[in-house]
């Protein structure tokens, strides 16, 4: 009876995945939640989930639990661009939802670059309808004063700022999802995320924008093309975190 039961559970979850109720990258209920929902032991639930993993329908990662399998969304770090443009190039439908638009006293690390008061814009980026990134952009006050919420809902900042962009520096590190990011990204609190901070400068090397991008670790890959150089024991572009 136990074997029949776990196969029945697997069949129901399979139907929900193939029917689109559980989209690619979406988290499944936890094993304990599934155990309570189906009135079976976690051993039975685990057998059902492992069956679906063997079929390539779901996968698991430490800190996330089980989720619907999908190809990781890749972003190239070799050029300056937007999330939306890179997702579109991959054939992924992208959408942005602005959840905050206001002038604020700049956080300490931003104040050193942009001044005392900044425009702060918070948004969630979706990929094929699923949360893919939480983005916060801080904009220099003189530039942000000319922008509206409608502007940032429809266009990338690089198209909105009326100063020539000279380049940017991007720093990437591992972090854990706090309560706010966990809710926005639909991941468990404390689960692994990738945190990217980008400082964008004008042609005179003055910072114009500072942005923080937080990505669910189970859905994201960053790709860097490395040119051939003389052999070195030090990977290019890496530094110790103080």
Q: What are the tens digits of pLDDT across the range 170-220? A: 898 989 999 999 999 988 888 889 999 999 999 999 999 999 999 988 888
| Cα–Cα distance, 32 to 95 (Å, whole number) | 33
Q: Which CATH number belongs to the domain containing residue 15 in this structure?
A: 1.10.10.10
Q: What is the CATH number of the domain that holds 181?
A: 3.40.1410.10
Query: Going by C-beta distance under 8 Å and a sequence separation of 6 or more, which residues neighbour residue 189?
Result: 177, 178, 179, 182
Give the chain's domain count. Answer: 2
pTM of the model: 0.76
Q: Does 41 map to a domain?
A: yes
Same domain for 62 and 83: no
CB 45 within 8 A of CB 65: no
Same domain, 101 and 114: yes
Q: What percent of the chain has pLDDT over 70?
A: 88
Cα end-to-end span (Å), the chain: 57
The CA distance from 190 to 10, in Å, is: 28
Tokens of 109: 């690390």
Residues 28 and 56 in one domain: yes
Query: Which residues does residue 83 pair with via DSSP β-bridges, in sequence order?
Result: none
Q: Is pLDDT at 3 greater than 80 in this prediction?
A: no
Q: Would the pLDDT of 231 be above 80?
A: no
- Residue 237 domain-assigned? no
pLDDT level of residue 229 (50, 70, 90 thresholds):
low
Mean pLDDT, to the nearest integer, of 117-134?
90
Task: Supply the range of the domain harboring residue 41.
Answer: 2-68
Furthest C-alpha separation in the chain: 72
The answer to whether residue 19 is domain-embedded is yes
Same-domain status, 81 and 95: yes
pLDDT at 78: 63
Mean pLDDT of the region 27-51: 91
Q: Is the same domain home to 47 and 60?
A: yes
Give the Cα-Cα-Cα angle 101, 176, 96 (nearest 5 degrees).
30
pLDDT on residue 24: 79
Q: Please check whether residue 6 lies inside any domain of the structure.
A: yes
In this structure, are 64 and 139 located in the same domain? no
- Please list, residue by residue across 115-142, b when 16 or more beta carbons sit within 10 angstroms of its beta carbon and e when fewer do: eebbbbbbbbbbbbebbbbbbbbbbbee
Q: Report the percentage of the chain scoring pLDDT > 90.
A: 43
Q: 166 near 203, Cβ under 8 Å?
A: yes
Q: Is residue 238 part of a domain?
A: no
Q: Which of 62-76, 78-92, 126-140 has the highest mean predicted lDDT (pLDDT)?
A: 126-140
Beta strands (DSSP E) in 128-237 are 130-140, 165-176, 192-202, 207-216, 220-223
25 or 110: which leads in pLDDT = 110
pLDDT, one tens digit per residue, over 144-180 is 999 999 998 888 888 888 888 888 898 989 899 999 9
Mean pLDDT of all residues in the chain? 85
The CA–CA distances, whole Å, from 166 to 157, 161, 199, 221 equal 14, 12, 11, 26
61 with 156, same domain: the answer is no
Do 104 and 127 lie in one domain? The reply is yes
174 or 242, greater pLDDT:
174
Cα separation, 174 vs 157, whole angstroms: 25
Q: Looking at the structure, do residues 64 and 80 belong to the same domain, yes or no? A: no
Residue 222: its pLDDT value, please?
A: 79
pLDDT on residue 99: 93
């Amino acid at each position: 009876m136990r074997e029949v039961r776990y196969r029945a559970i697997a069949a129901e979850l399979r139907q929900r995945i193939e029917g689109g109720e559980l989209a690619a990258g979406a988290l499944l209920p936890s094993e304990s939640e599934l155990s309570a929902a189906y009135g079976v032991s976690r051993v039975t639930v685990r057998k059902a989930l492992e069956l679906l993993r063997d079929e390539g329908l779901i996968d698991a990662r430490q800190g996330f639990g089980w989720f619907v399998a999908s190809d990781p969304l890749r972003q190239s770090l070799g050029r300056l661009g937007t999330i939306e443009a890179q997702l579109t190039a991959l054939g992924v439908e992208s959408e942005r939802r602005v959840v905050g638009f206001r002038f604020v006293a700049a956080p300490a690390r931003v104040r050193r670059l942009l001044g005392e008061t900044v425009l702060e814009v918070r948004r969630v980026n979706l990929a094929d309808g699923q949360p893919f990134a939480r983005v916060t952009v801080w904009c220099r006050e003189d530039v942000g004063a000319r922008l509206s919420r409608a502007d940032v809902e429809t266009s990338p900042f690089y198209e909105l700022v009326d100063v020539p962009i000279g380049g940017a520096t991007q720093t990437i590190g591992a972090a854990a999802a706090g309560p706010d990011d966990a809710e926005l990204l639909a991941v468990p609190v404390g689960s692994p995320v990738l945190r990217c901070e980008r400082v964008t400068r004008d042609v005179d090397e003055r910072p114009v924008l500072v942005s923080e991008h937080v990505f669910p670790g189970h859905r994201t890959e960053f790709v860097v093309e490395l040119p051939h150089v003389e052999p070195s024991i030090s990977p290019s572009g890496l530094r110790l975190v103080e």
